[in-house]
Amino acid sequence: MDKPRRAGLSFARSATAGACALAGLLCAGAFADEPRAPVMPVMPAPARALSVPAYGDADRACLEWTDSCRICARDAPGQPARCSTPGPVCQPAPIACTRR
C-alpha cells in the first residue's frame, strides 16, 4: 500500500523554494545600479590635417574639392566656399581637388 503523504512537508519545501527565489531576486536588484562598461568601445576620430571647408584656404586655385562625403565649391579663386552636408554613414576619403 502507498504511504500517505504529509501535507506539511510539501508546504515547507515550497515555502523554502519561494524564499530562495525571493532572496535571489533581491540580491540581483542590489547590483542593478552598478555602472557597466559600454557595450561598444568608442573609437577616436582619425586625425586630419585640414577640414574639408579649410582645404580651399590652403589651395586657393582649386574651385571644387571633396572628401567623398562633402563637396565644397566656389565661383572664382578667392571667393568664399559653399559646402554640402555629409550623409550620416559616409566614410571620408582623402581630400582632393576636382576642378581648377
Predicted TM-score of the model (pTM): 0.50
Quick check: is 44 in a domain? no
Quick check: is 84 in a domain? yes
Q: Report residue 63: phi and psi, to 5°.
A: -100, -20
Quick check: is 13 in a domain? no
Quick check: is 29 in a domain? no
Q: Which three cell numbers stand for residue 22?
A: 525571493
> What total of structural domains would you count in the chain?
1
**56 and 99 Cβ atoms separated by less than 8 Å:** no
Quick check: is 70 in a domain? yes
Q: Report residue 47: phi and psi, to 5°.
A: -70, 140
Quick check: is 40 in a domain? no
| CA pair distance 46, 77, nearest whole angstrom | 30
Quick check: is 60 in a domain? yes
Quick check: is 28 in a domain? no
The parent domain of residue 86 ranges over 52-99
pLDDT in tens, the chain (100 residues): 566 555 555 655 666 666 656 666 665 555 556 666 655 555 444 545 678 989 988 888 999 999 999 999 999 988 899 999 988 888 999 999 999 9
